[in-house]
Structure 1
Amino acid sequence: MSSSPSEAYFGGGAALYNRSRPEYPDALIERITSALPGRDVLDVGCGSGIEARQFRAAGCTVLGVDPDAQMAEHARSGGVPVEIGKFESWDPAGRTFDAVVAGTAWHWVDPSAGAALAARVLRPGGLLAPFHHASLTPPKLAEAAGMALPGWSTRSATAYQRVAPVSVFAPDGRRTSPFELYQPLFDAMADAIRRTGRFTEPELWRFDWEQTYTRDEWLAYLPTQGVLAKLAPEELARRLEAVGAEIDRMGGSFSLPYATVAVTAVRTDAG
């Protein structure tokens, strides 16, 4: 099987990814589970199993699908069964589910093919709910990491997110919200769901929260991001040193605002 972009970025770093990436708001997990007709959940792009474990703790039975064998193995070690493959070509073998979810992973899926397959494997009344963390990296930290490129527009940064996800930043230093920068992605996801003709009108469920990062916590998080994960060790170390120095000047820690947004729609009987 050929490697996907996500394999190139995250393969081999499952333990670090699992340790440094934040969980999803409890309110999001509760809202999704309360909307389900049952408790069978398919987790697309389950990665190391972060959200899958949250759904299991909420009383759901979860099956993961992920193209990365090392990520899958890490999720399995936490009790999550995972089948390896890209969602668009994955064979459900006649199985159906009450929910199809994806935690900051749906941008790796072809939106039209993904929505069509979700409609196929969802039971009538089942919920499609891909959700994403959107965060706004402080401009000085983005620049120190080599993530801010002069002259980029908000639109360019958003387009880049579609193929190489990193924490969203404002390259021109403009104060903006994480939700604003991710809005085109959410709109594209909703449009693809509408085109299937097999779901109710998509809704956006938004949950705002903050997380405080220490210097060490942020430096552990950065190598899991698409841009930095591809760097040679020497270059990565240089950038992390620059970021660490910047955090030291900020007092050793900082608070990062997040907006976690789910694009949700219910599978109808049509089709």
Structure 2
Amino acid sequence: MPTIPPEPPRLSERQPHQHRETAQSFGTDAERYDRARPRYPDSLIDRIVAGRPGLDVLDVGSGTGIAARQFQAAGCRVLGVEPDARMAGLAQQSGGEVDVATFEDWEPDGRAFDAVVAGQAWHWIDPVAGAVKAARVLRPGGLLAPFWNAFRLPPGLAQSVADVCRRALPEAPFDFEAIMKETLSGYQALFAKAADGIRAAGGYGEPEQWRFDWERSCTRDAWLEQMPTQAIFTRLPPDKLQEVLQGVGAAIDAMGGSFTMGYTTVAVTAVRTGAS
């Protein structure tokens, strides 16, 4: 499900980065998060690295180190910044270097980077303050590149999952059909906010969007493992979560036990133009 929780009308004035309680709910099962969350397409990593192994990369909201490991495999030196000690601890167990802090409060201590990235995390950061902090640590010509995975369930399954969620969670302030069927369009406002924050921060060229479309085969068990790591489910009572998972599992069984998941990965990128 989308990482960004849709807002109930009474909270519509709040931005995702103001939902710190949700942002820090993913660490309740960091091991599951690391196992189940999809990786990012190699084409995205390759474009950011641009044939320059040895780059210094700052991974903001680095979580359990999913993106960091991909950049390390591409020959980069990676430092993570992650506010949840549970997530950071798991990344450190696999050899990752992580500072435990919110990005807004993190102190770079003179360190500089060729790229600042954020996989599925930039919306939890104030978009202007985040871009200003990134500009402080980017070398001239360096790249700011937050990116997101948006999934596309097959239409019939999307409707079935929405129906299950609506029955199990009748009082939840979410439009489940919109969440399941229109995930990429639901992210467009976030992409715009990221770009506006970069423009407001100054010190960058004009932001661009990079888009990567890809697919992966997804089994029933793999999807049921991933669902509890998504923001609209991380804080559900166990009995409600189990009800959702049972219903979704039955829907996947009815279509043969597996399906092809479509993904679109979008990066909002900007080049650091020079010293402040």
Normalising by structure 2, report the TM-score.
0.85
Partners of 2:133 and 2:162 lie apart in 1 by 37
| Stretches of structure 2 lacking an aligned partner (at least 5 in a row) | 1-18
Q: What SS does structure 1 have at the residue aligned with 2:243?
A: helix
Aligned residue type for 1:136: R
The Cα of 1:213 is off from its aligned counterpart by 1.2
Matches within 5 A, 1:204-223: 204-223=209-228
CA contact (8 A) 1:124 1:269 kept: yes
Partners of 1:220 and 1:37 lie apart in 2 by 34
**1:170 aligned residue:** 178
**1:165 aligned residue:** none
Q: How many residues are matched?
A: 253
1:7-39 deviation line (CA, Å, top 9, x unaligned) = 542123111001000110000000000176960
The Cα of 1:197 is off from its aligned counterpart by 1.8
Matched, 1:144 2:164: yes
CA contact (8 A) 1:46 1:66 kept: yes
CA contact (8 A) 1:215 1:253 kept: yes
Matched, 1:256 2:276: no
Matches within 5 A, 1:28-177: 28-34=44-50, 39-137=55-153, 138-146=158-166, 170=178, 176=182
Change (3 A) 1:130 1:7: closer
Q: What SS does structure 1 have at the residue aligned with 2:25?
A: helix
Percent sequence identity is: 55
Partners of 1:183 and 1:221 lie apart in 2 by 23
Matched, 1:4 2:12: no
The one of 37, 54, 63 equivalent to 1:21 is 37
**2:12 aligned residue:** none
**2:10 aligned residue:** none
4-13 vs 119-128, greater mean Cα deviation: 4-13
Partners of 2:226 and 2:80 lie apart in 1 by 23
Q: What SS does structure 1 have at the residue aligned with 2:244?
A: helix
**1:184 aligned residue:** 189
Q: What SS does structure 1 have at the residue aligned with 2:232?
A: helix
Pairwise CA RMSD: 2.6
Partners of 1:26 and 1:239 lie apart in 2 by 32
- Larger RCO: 1 or 2 (CA < 8 Å, sep 6+): 2
The one of 191, 195, 219 equivalent to 2:200 is 195
The one of 231, 239, 259 equivalent to 2:236 is 231
Matched, 1:267 2:272: yes
Aligned residue type for 1:213: C
The Cα of 1:236 is off from its aligned counterpart by 1.0
The Cα of 1:212 is off from its aligned counterpart by 1.8
